Amino acid sequence: MGSCIAIARLGIHQIREEYIFDKTICILEEIQQNIHGKQYLFHDQFTAADLTLTALIQPLRIVPALFIKYKNIFEYCDRIREQHDPKEFEDSYAERLLKHHRQKRQSSPYQLIFRNII
């Protein structure tokens, strides 16, 4: 339900498919600027917005260029999960594989080209 509210509020459902990536980048840029130096999205109070961001950002972890460029947002969401998730904080099997792959993988020239596009 929280994701439905976020989608409606941000107007994502009204965006043509080819503009969704651009809208996502704009939203990530805004979030990255706003979370700098804050404990939560709205200063010192945990809200549903923090929870919603943490849930919605998770699928973007698998996009290397986004993960690198917006690492602060992903670290912020990890911190929120550690502090407020009722289950013990543990990465899923897919997340552990992804971390392992990122640690051992070397940069390729194609990766640099893709980073420059974003």
d(CA 2, CA 52): 6
Residue ranges of domains in the chain = 2-117
Residue among 6, 7, 113 nearest 64 (CA): 113
* pTM score over 0.85: no
Start-to-end Cα distance in the chain? 30
CB 31 within 8 A of CB 53: yes
d(CA 14, CA 90): 35
pLDDT in tens, the chain (118 residues): 455 555 566 665 565 677 888 888 999 999 999 888 888 988 788 888 898 898 889 888 888 889 999 999 999 998 888 887 766 656 667 777 777 777 765 666 666 665 666 5
